[in-house]
Amino acid sequence: GAGVSQTPSNKVTEKGKYVELRCDPISGHTALYWYRQSLGQGPEFLIYFQGTGAADDSGLPNDRFFAVRPEGSVSTLKIQRTERGDSAVYLCASSFGLATDTQYFGPGTRLTVL
């Protein structure tokens, strides 16, 4: 079946602009995760949804970052007033939501802030 998809694959923006990154999880997966990966580093957890609600948003770096999942499926990560330090690959993953479940990752969105 279809895997996790993310759009766009690449996004170039200017400092101070607003961006939205989209994630389409695997159908039936109740848990959805956002991660950020800087060059040479492992992915860093940002936020986790169980259904429509954010079960854990402790990884969001500051209040410029916000994510929603209004219908419990597609999720959007929103970044306001982008900064050059926000440049990274943003990864989305989904799972059935149990603790030992495999997380399935999308290919990521490469965000570049000029």
**Beta carbon nearer to another protein, 10 or 80:** 10
Q: Tell me if residue 111 falls in helix, strand or coil.
A: strand
* The one-letter amino acid at 80: Q
Give dist(CA 102, CA 71) in Å, integer.
22
Q: Is residue 95 at the binding interface for another protein, with CB under 8 A as the rule? A: yes
Residue 53 touches another protein, criterion: CB under 8 A: no
Looking up tokens 């950020």, which residue turns up? Answer: 36
Q: How far is the CB of 17 from another protein (least distance, A)?
A: 25
Residue with tokens 């997380």: 103
**Tokens standing for 12?**
């170039």
Q: Is 62 in the site for another protein (CB under 8 A)?
A: no
Binding site for another protein (CB under 8 A): 4, 31, 33, 35, 40-48, 50, 55-56, 59, 91, 93, 95, 97-108
